[in-house]
Structure 1
Amino acid sequence: MIVEQNTPLVVCGIIGDETTLVVNKCLTGPFKNRYDLPTAPVTLRQTLSDSVTEIAANETGLTTAVESQLGTVQWLFPESARMLVSIFYLLEPVGGRLVTKRPAYTAALSAGAERVPLVQLNWANSSPLVLQAKRYLATGTFPIADQVIASYPIPETPQFLLN
């Protein structure tokens, strides 16, 4: 019998090109107050590709199609005894409109989405997942080596502009 497990396995969507990346203004979780990718936990209810396109639509407002699966990276955060395993997908936008401000009646998981120039994304304002996406978009390579993040403090204030 297969049962759903509570694991740190997630799918992440990369929507961008060699100059910009669509990111969320994250307000909760381990990447609070930083830019993050559209990310959803893997469940038994949906395929991986359905999960990543659904979360991209919910978090960015963009309808997307899966262009390719890029790879999987394990992130280890020994300071907080956390681990995350991320399966990255390159997504092609095919419709919708970027949600730049979260409506007041929705749960505030993010402050909306934004298309940010790659040169503005850095360690201080972005999750490690965003930096992995930036590396791929800028170079065309996708390293899959496990990543150990020795220290990753959560900023007290958002590292992006609130609308």
Structure 2
Amino acid sequence: MITDKKIHRAFGVYGIYTYGNKILVINKNRGPYINRYDLPGGSLEDGESLIGALKREFLEETGIEVKIEKNLGIADFMLPWDWNDCEFVHHITAYYLVEKVRGNINDPHQFEGQDSLSALWLSEKEANINNASPLVLKAFRWLKESVFDPDIEVYNDWKMKM
């Protein structure tokens, strides 16, 4: 655990939508996972429920309307991020397995605050620490092992991809 650094705490909800052995991911354009693949999802707006936020974020970032199949659990990640006078981010995440209701994958509408450039299918063979967020890597472990490990993952050597 990191205790001697100024830490920014962030919370978000994220959906795992699978097709065969692939997961639908987004290409991040900001934040600690910039220029990496990440799961669709994000922060809650004031007064918004977890499920409401996930459905909104998923639709905004992928063009897909989803329903919740299962709550997989909560996980957290700690990694270096020089932001707002902080040295690390403690990213707390709620994972959900989701299913498509309607819609087609499309490039997200760009607006202030949009942090997704595109949505695409990614296989485990294509994902690695250099091109994917820790959230995506944990999602692939869950797919492979059918076990959700909630232990914190600390990435002291994390490098931003500018």
Bucket of the pairwise TM-score, normalised by the shorter protein: 0.7 to 0.9
Q: CA deviation at 1:45?
A: 1.6
- 1:17 CA displacement: 4.3
Q: Is the CA contact (8 Å cut-off) linking 2:13 and 2:94 kept in structure 1?
A: yes
Kept in 1: contact 2:17–2:97 (CA 8 A): yes
Contact 1:24 1:110 in 2 (8 A): yes
2:98 paired with 1:95? no
Tell me the secondary structure at the aligned position of residue 69 of structure 2.
strand
User: Could you say what secondary structure the match of 1:50 adopts?
Assistant: helix
Secondary structure in 1 matching 2:18: coil
Question: How many residues get paired?
Answer: 149
Q: Secondary structure at the match of 1:73?
A: strand
CA RMSD of aligned residues (A): 2.0
- The residue number in structure 1 matching 2:153 is 147
Contact 1:27 1:109 in 2 (8 A): yes
Instruction: Identify, as 1 or 2, the structure richer in strand.
Output: 2
Matched, 1:115 2:145: no
TM-score by length of 1: 0.83
Deviations along 1:112-150, one digit per CA (max 9) or x if unpaired, are 100112211111100000111111122211101111111
Gaps of 5+ in 1: 1-5, 157-163
Aligned equivalents of 2:32, 2:52: Cα separation in 1: 24
| Whole-Å separation in 2 of the counterparts to 1:134 and 1:111 | 22
Q: CA deviation at 1:110?
A: 2.1
Q: What is the rounded CA distance, in whole Å, between the counterparts of 1:17 and 1:114 in structure 2?
A: 11
**1:27 Cα shift?**
0.9
Q: Deviations over 1:75-128 (max 9, x none)?
A: 1125732211001111111210001x345x645622210011221111110000
Q: What residue identity is the alignment partner of 1:123? A: I
SS of the aligned residue for 2:128 comes to coil
Q: How far apart, in 2, do the equivalents of 1:85 and 1:121 lie?
A: 21
Task: Give, in whole Å, the separation in 2 of the partners of 1:51 and 1:66.
Answer: 12
Determine the structure 1 residue equivalent to 2:4: none
TM-score, normalised via structure 2 length: 0.83
Q: SS at the partner of 1:42? A: coil
- Distance in 1, Cα, partners of 2:96 & 2:108: 24
Letter in 2 for 1:38: P
| Aligned residues with identical type, % of pairs | 26
Q: Which amino acid aligns with 2:142?
A: Y
> Which of 38, 41, 55 lines up with 1:39 in the alignment?
41
